Amino acid sequence: MPKLVFLTPEGERFEIDAPNGTTAMENAVKHDVPGIEAECGGACACATCHVYVDEAWTAKTGEPEPMEEDMLDFAYEPQPNSRLSCQIKMRDDLDGLVLTVPAQQA
């Protein structure tokens, strides 16, 4: 099962066993990662699941879809490596993926 790592602005590190096919957001909510509110429940309609993808992983997680891109405009301080964590589906080649919760969200 792939491992998923969340880093928080307070320096906390969450290492989660994230089943294939689940979204990064679902795993964050399940493990109470602070700052991932996921108000819309994963419908790509709230931007409260915004994360920064570690630079080493951006090629593998890929580019946001146009709908996600539009939603990211509503996120706090979006950066080129911003994604909505409800749009990242776990799979074996994302084993070790590192996501950071933006400071303003936590």
- Chosen residue from 3, 14, 44, 81 binding ligand FES by CB under 6 A: 44
Closer to ligand FES by Cβ: residue 11 or 27: 27
Q: What's the CA gap between 75 and 60, in Å, rounded?
A: 22
Select the residue whose beta carbon is closest to ligand FES and give its number. Answer: 86
Q: How far is the CB of 30 from ligand FES (least distance, A)?
A: 13
- Sort 11 into a burial class: Cβ within 10 Å, 0-12 / 13-18 / 19+: exposed
Residues 56-85 touching ligand FES, rule: CB under 6 A, are 71, 84
Q: What's the CA gap between 61 and 2, in Å, rounded?
A: 14
Under the binding rule (CB under 6 A), the answer on residue 25 touching ligand FES is yes
Q: Pairing relation of β-strands 3-7 and 13-17?
A: antiparallel
Of the chain, the end-to-end C-alpha distance in Å amounts to 27
Closer to ligand FES by Cβ: residue 25 or 90: 25
